[in-house]
Amino acid sequence: MKSTIENTVEFVKEKLKGAEAGHDWYHIERVWKLSRKIAAEEDCNQEVVELSALLHDIADPKFHNGDETIAPKIARKFLEGQQVSEEVIEKVLFIIKNISFKNRSEVPAELPIELKIVQDADRIDAVGAIGIGRTFNFGGFKNNPMYDPEVQPSLNMSKEEYKKSNGTTINHFYEKLLLLKDLMNTKKGKEIAQQRHDYMLGFLDQFYKEWNVD
């Protein structure tokens, strides 16, 4: 018989067929692996961490007209068909509802360690070389300009403004990616994020040098 984790992998792969490249099965696989790596250094419930990592983008509101209720419904229906306790289901649903960067102002101050772990893993996949790749892919998907020297980044956007933003891809670095290193919850997360942060600074430097042909 297959384990719950194996069933979940199969379910998520099937659900994410055809997803935008930055939010596809390989994003989930990286977040799952990063979550395990971080979890190895923390005192936590491994099953909750792995299930939440696998299910965290099952129906991203960005791709479902902003509807935030779809993902928890799909995850609950799936988990109820598995050998998982109601207590674990509730923990996983809490995590997938509250993990998002754009919801960060609404989330309760004290978070369960399992949420902190998966959130760090998801944020790590948003930075570094992979983060750069994902961000340009998303910008292309939205048909946003790569860069416009006339358009300044808008910091402190409300959740609504952030979601609606169709600014440039380079501005997204200042509006989100470069802020993530200071939002890490765990020691391991901070370490990995710092190295990837420095790599992005180097990328931006080079980008402006090449943009400003003299």
4 vs 63, beta carbon nearer ligand ADP: 63
Q: What angle do CA 32, 38, 40 make, to 5 degrees?
A: 105
Estimate the crossing angle of helix 113-124 against helix 46-55, to 10 degrees: 40
Q: Identify the residue among 50, 57, 114, 175 touching Ni ion (CB under 5 A).
A: 57
> Judged by CB under 6 A, does residue 102 bind ligand ADP?
yes
Report CA Rg, the chain.
Answer: 18
CA neighbor of 27 nearest in space, from 104, 133, 98: 133
> Judged by CB under 5 A, does residue 120 bind Ni ion?
no
Q: Identify the residue among 71, 89, 92, 134 touching ligand ADP (CB under 6 A).
A: 134
Q: Which two tokens stand for residue 67?
A: 């509807």
Question: Out of Ni ion, ligand ADP, none, which partner does residue 126 contact, by CB within 5 to 8 A per kind?
Answer: ligand ADP
Q: How near is the Cβ of 5 to ligand ADP at its closest, in Å?
A: 23
50 vs 122, beta carbon nearer ligand ADP: 122
Site string for ligand ADP, 160-199 (x = CB under 6 A): -----x---x--x---x-----------------------
DSSP state of 193: H
* CA 115 – CA 92 distance, rounded (Å): 9
- Give start and end residues of each alpha helix (H) in 125-184: 128-141, 159-164, 169-175
Q: Which two tokens stand for residue 27?
A: 């994003």
CA neighbor of 52 nearest in space, from 124, 1, 103, 4: 4
Q: Which residue has the tokens 């509006």?
A: 175
Beta-carbon contacts of 200 under 8 Å, excluding residues fewer than 6 positions away, are: 127, 128, 131, 132, 173, 177, 178
Q: Identify the residue among 114, 120, 122, 175 touching Ni ion (CB under 5 A).
A: 122
Region of 2-10, 42-50, 98-106, 197-205 interacting with ligand ADP (CB under 6 A): 98-106
> Judged by CB under 6 A, does residue 52 bind ligand ADP?
no
Instruction: For the segment 61-90, give every residue that binds ligand ADP (CB under 6 A).
Output: 62
Site string for Ni ion, 124-153 (x = CB under 5 A): ------------------------------
Query: Using CB under 6 A as the criterion, which residues of the chain lie in contact with ligand ADP when the complex forms?
Result: 22, 62, 100-102, 122, 126, 134-135, 138-139, 144, 165, 169, 172, 176
